[in-house]
Chains A and B, each alone.
Chain A
Amino acid sequence: MSVARRNRPRPTVGRVLTVVGLYVLMTLVAVSILFPVVWMLYSSIKTNQQILNNVFSLPTAFNLENYRNLFNGGQMPVWLANSVIVTLVSVVGIAILSALAAYGFAAFSFRGKEKLFIFCLIGLMIPPQALIVSGFKWMSLFALIGSRWALILTYLGWISFGVLVLRNFFQAVPKEIIEAARIDGANHWRIFTRIMLPLARPSIGTVVVLNFMWVWNDFIYPLVYVDSADRYTIPLGILQYQSRLGVQWGTQMAALSVAAGVPLLIYLIFQRQFIRGILAGSLKG
């Protein structure tokens, strides 16, 4: 990196303008993104009436009543627990399954591999709404409706994205590395665990983070597969604060803040992982 810097020509007017323009554009986009987040957070410390009076005004007092309602009187702890359990198990499962399958696609060749790969992409093509009716009946046959496993097993079928991304990554690993390992006597398992997985950390990170968000925010499956209030996940629970007849804005914003907090945390954790992978220099092989 330092070599590149030294060789770089002195900044021209053009370059300065480009950089400034870039910053302005990027800041505008960033502000438009932060705005809903910030609004959600500061609305969660306003009372319902305050929000109604002026939707976008800043709060005048720090009022944690909404959060208190969620946790003391409300069911948020239950929802949080259910969401955490279901999402963690599902995402760990998805990561393991996709990495294994991606390696299978990348390292072996066999007849029909292409077709099988496209077949595995079907999962990306269907909106979940298309599957809940038949999925409900299918799960009923196993008497799983109402259990967290109905959700977890369903999410474990969401391997398509992981397989796509990781297969792409594994295929791009230089052949020399693999050949060298083979010559050293490594079998597929060792290549997979000792070479491929460590190299793929950023991509695995991406797969984990994104699947975490998708599973965490999913509400269509819980809507249909859960039949008792003590198994509600957060997206389903948030519907408590909406009804056809009115929204409890304040409490809903607090619930949404909690709901957004966890994936954000996961992202922050994996962001650091991301950087560590880069700094380790293991990719500059």
Chain B
Amino acid sequence: MRRNTRWGALAAAGAAAVLVLAGCGAGDGGKSSSGGSMTLLSEWTDGGSAASIQSTIDSWNKANPDNKMTQRSIGNEDFMTASRTAMSGDNPPDVLQFEGFSDTVDYAKAGKLVDLTGWWNANKSRFALADSPGVTRSCTYQGKVYCVPMSSNAQSVLFYNAKMLADNGIAPPKTYDDVVAAGEKLNAKGITPIALGDKDGWPGAQLWMTFVAQLCGTTMADQAVDRKGPKWTDQCFTDAAAQVDSLRQKGFFPKGVVSDDYNGMVSLFESGKAAFISTGSWFIGSWQSAPPPFQVGAEYFPPVTGAAHPDDKVAYGGDVVGIPTGGKNQAEAMKFLDYMTSLDQAKVWAKNYYFSAVKGAVAASGPANIKDLYDQTASAENTLGSLDLQLPPAVGQDVLYNSFQSLLGGKTTPQQFTAALEKSAQATQGPSQP
């Protein structure tokens, strides 16, 4: 009996103590509405971007002690859940980073983003790709601009392990046939040619888009997205899928291509077990904390021989920032946006391997091995925004990802893939009419 009382007393004391602590912290439900503090919500959790945004915020806070900015970031797909919920509530962040395209449409339609058209027209000359579809389609809705690009992502990039190629007597590939030849040589030696892990659906889909840009061209693809004539079942889209399928049949992808995720494919490449990896320029940003122990070459995926649009690239404003209309401090948030995209700040980001959308940042402070890739991106004319972002999620993230993943597993043919895509697009968006 005595034991019980002691336990009970202990539990009660402990509970009381913790309740007091909880009470202390709980009083500040929500943010203080007094002027002078702002929040930023982003996906910038990885080494390079996280350091960059913190640096930007620190220098802003020093210069603006009355209007401090704090930030929080959430990695992974969970960011979508958190950001959409936050946007739906009474206390959205003052500045939001998101991925544009269909998100911009959703938010703008609901009146959740501040119209930035005036500011954009005045400032767009300092952004790369400002008039290119990859950026304009990302942030424009019904003729008005609702966000600003922070990065100019190059998506159809082929990275290679320079040392591994050299060790195996392979010159860095300049044409598509070079890539195929290199892959066959590596295969013969038992080395995985191209690292790819499509568990999340988008790494594989991006490879398809690379060929879509080359074979169909940006204009046609954008029109298919908008349902303005071209259909996904049109020949060139199927051909693009067939290109990837031929690589699969040659055994260029790892055995786990369907079940490995993006981190798996990166691990494969960075641990020196695969010679190539095809992904986007953000991959470079992840080196800031742990660069691979070998020289990495990077160039746009060479166009397929005879491609109709060899210079079209998948490149777009990847990270965009906007100002939620529910924010309590819009004027200051606007100033922060301006500050964030200034050349000085952008240089800090570029130094951390970020493909900044601000012109001249990468040229001034970017690491040497990405400057060339960046220059090609910044000067590209026909840039295709990533199709999974442009399409409504039911098409772009459900059917596109799953069906293409099935293709990579050898269970779906290119024709079946594009047929499924078109069927879903028709069901969700309607038929395609010129």
Contacts and interface: CB of A to CB of B under 8 A. Distances in A.
B195 to A, nearest CB: 12
Interface stretch (B107-115, B265-273, B370-378): B265-273
A239 interface: yes
Nearest to A239: B75
A88 B22 CA distance: 10
Nearest to B92: A227
Interface in B270-297: 270-272, 282-283, 285-286, 289-290, 293
Nearest to B81: A223
B72 A229 contact: yes
A236 B82 CA distance: 11
B14 interface: yes
B271 A223 contact: no
Given A85-B22, A92-B14, A152-B22, A227 B286 contact: no
Contact of B15 (A89, A133, A150, A194): A89
B22 A48 contact: no
A245 B282 contact: yes
Contact of B271 (A47, A52, A92, A198): A52
B86 interface: yes
Interface in A217-245: 219, 223-224, 227-229, 231-232, 236, 239-245
Contacts of B188: none
Interface of B: 1, 4, 11, 14-15, 18-19, 21-22, 25-31, 39, 43-47, 50, 70-78, 81-82, 85-86, 88-91, 93, 262-263, 266-267, 270-272, 282-283, 285-286, 289-290, 293
Contact of A146 (B22, B30, B74): B30
Contact of A149 (B21, B22, B90): B22
Contacts of A197: 4
A223 B82 contact: yes
A147 B91 CA distance: 13
Given A85-B18, A85-B25, A240-B45, 9 more contacts: A92-B11, A147-B25, A148-B22, A219-B78, A224-B82, A229-B71, A229-B72, A245-B46, A245-B285
Interface string A117-151: 00000000000000011001100100111111110
Contacts, number: 141
Given A85-B21, A148-B26, A149-B22, A246 B46 contact: yes
Contacts of B50: 240
A49 interface: yes
A163 interface: no
A53 interface: yes
A239 to B, nearest CB: 5
Nearest to A129: B81
What DSSP secondary structure best describes chain A's contact surface?
helix
B99 to A, nearest CB: 10
A89 B26 CA distance: 13
A17 interface: no
A248 interface: yes
Contacts of A132: 81, 85
18 contacts: A48-B289, A53-B271, A54-B271, A85-B25, A132-B81, A137-B89, A140-B89, A145-B29, A145-B30, A147-B28, A147-B30, A228-B39, A242-B45, A244-B75, A244-B77, A245-B283, A246-B283, A248-B289
B39 A227 contact: yes
B263 to A, nearest CB: 5
Contacts of B72: 227-229, 232
Interface residues of A, number: 49
Contacts of B270: 49, 52
Given A52-B271, A227-B31, A248-B289, A242 B76 contact: yes
A49 B290 CA distance: 7
Contact of A144 (B1, B29, B78): B29
A54 B267 CA distance: 9
B30 A143 contact: yes
Given A54-B271, A228-B31, A241 B45 contact: yes
A96 to B, nearest CB: 8
A247 B264 CA distance: 10
Given A136-B85, A239-B45, A244-B75, A55 B91 contact: no
A221 to B, nearest CB: 11
Nearest to A92: B15
A148 B21 CA distance: 10
A86 interface: yes
Contacts of B90: 140, 145
B223 to A, nearest CB: 28
A141 to B, nearest CB: 9
Interface string A39-68: 000000001110011110000000000000
B2 to A, nearest CB: 11
Given A145-B89, A227-B39, A240 B29 contact: no
A88 B14 contact: yes
Contacts of A198: 4
Interface string A185-229: 000000000100110000000000000000000010001100111
Counting from the closest, the 5 A-B pairs by CB-CB distance are A147-B29, A243-B75, A246-B286, A229-B72, A243-B46
Contacts of B71: 229
B103 to A, nearest CB: 14
Could you say which of B4, B43, B46, B266 has the most chain A C-beta atoms within 10 Å of its C-beta? B46
Nearest to A147: B29
B37 to A, nearest CB: 10
A44 to B, nearest CB: 16
Contacts of B77: 244
A144 B26 CA distance: 9
Could you say which of A132, A146, A241 has the most chain B C-beta atoms within 10 Å of its C-beta? A146
Nearest to A152: B22
Nearest to A228: B72
B29 A146 contact: yes
A138 to B, nearest CB: 11
Interface string A57-88: 00000000000000000000000001001101
Nearest to A87: B18
A243 B22 contact: no
B26 A147 contact: yes
A124 to B, nearest CB: 23
B4 A89 contact: no
B85 A48 contact: no
B8 to A, nearest CB: 8
